[in-house]
Amino acid sequence: MKIIPIQVLEDNYSYILIDDTTKEAAVIDCVDPIKILNVVSQTGAKLTSVFVTHHHWDHCGGNIELVAKKPGLAVSGADARIPDINFVCKDNEEFKLGTLVVTPLHTPCHTKGHVCYFVTDHSTNEKAVFTGDTLFVAGIGKFFEGDARDMYRNLFHVLGKLPDDTWVYCGHEYTKTNLKFALSLEPHNEALMAKWAWCQDKQITVPSTIAQEKAYNPFLRVNEQTIQLITGKSDPVEALATLRELKNAFRC
């Protein structure tokens, strides 16, 4: 499979996902349809689908215009608030993009209808997950329509259960700010220091991997004693809630 990150708005990502075998393509989180269509036209792929992670405008605000320009697109999601949605994907119910296997993973918290899309290419054994505003590089999304227990489930019982070599493609370029916060908590974390050094000259910092996130993302480390001592909470869900509050108040 081929994945093309597209920077849109101030700090958002859309993605083009292409099946190398059939040349079918999907856009993940369309907000700028003109930019999307220009990129797709350069690839020679045929756009057949839209995968929407959640209903916020900066992730699906281009749906109506895109569908108008490309009638017949399958628009997938799990929230009735998504414009032009015509396929409601159920949790863990696989479907295909060409030969690629797509597994929707319901991850309610940032919004009640949030979905991450886990994609496998059996011809190459590549794996990727599009995490929207649930999991970022070194961070997570805000709890707009859920709580810490919801997010803990998402991180540890859903995304954290994916293979370690799964590529992580998130919805925003928040990496440097997230890493600054993480370094304020664990300044001697070697994986964290290495990621910070690596990203300094990068405009695009995706993808990471599930294994990398487990090593340096503080929200995936709430079972570690270092994070529990910082938050003053031995219960990992409570530690996650406190960590989210600390991040909300953090200023670089």
Q: Any catalytic annotation for residue 55? A: no
Domain span including residue 48: 2-249
Question: What was the pLDDT predicted at 30?
Answer: 98
What pLDDT shows up at residue 94? 98
Report whether 101 contacts 77 (CB < 8 A).
no
Question: Considering 19, 32, 79, 110, which one is annotated as catalytic?
Answer: 110
- Is 122 an active-site residue? no
**pLDDT-based confidence at residue 2 (cuts at 50, 70, 90):** very high
Q: Is there a catalytic annotation at residue 114?
A: no
pLDDT of 248 > 80? The answer is yes
* Options 19, 58, 79, 150, the catalytic residue: 58
Please confirm, yes or no, whether 147 is among the known catalytic residues.
no
Answer yes or no: is pLDDT of 11 > 90.
Answer: yes
Annotated catalytic residue, options 19, 32, 54, 79:
54
Tens digit of each residue's pLDDT (9 = 90 or more) over 157-184: 999 999 999 999 999 999 999 999 999 9
User: Residue 251 — pLDDT band, cuts 50, 70, 90?
Assistant: confident
Can you give the pTM of this predicted structure? 0.97
Give catalytic status of residue 172 as yes or no.
yes
Of these residues, 19, 29, 59, 79, which one is catalytic?
59
Q: What are phi and psi of 58, to 5 degrees?
A: -75, 5
Q: What is the mean pLDDT of residues 16-43?
A: 97
Q: How many domains does the chain have?
A: 1
Burial tier of 7 (Cβ tally within 10 Å: 0-12, 13-18, 19+): middle
Under the banding of pLDDT at 50, 70 and 90, the label for residue 252 is confident
Q: Which residue has the tokens 């070599």?
A: 165
**Chain Cα centroid distance, residue 99:** 22
C-alpha angle 170-176-181 in degrees, rounded to nearest 5: 100
Q: Would you call 106 a catalytic residue per the annotation? A: no
Residue 39 has pLDDT above 90, yes or no: yes
Query: Tens digits of per-residue pLDDT, 81-95?
Result: 999 999 999 999 999
Q: What is the mean pLDDT of residues 2-31?
A: 98
**CATH number for 102:** 3.60.15.10
19, 56, 79, 121: the catalytic one is: 56
Tell which residue, 98, 104, 158, 155, has the closest CA to residue 123: 98
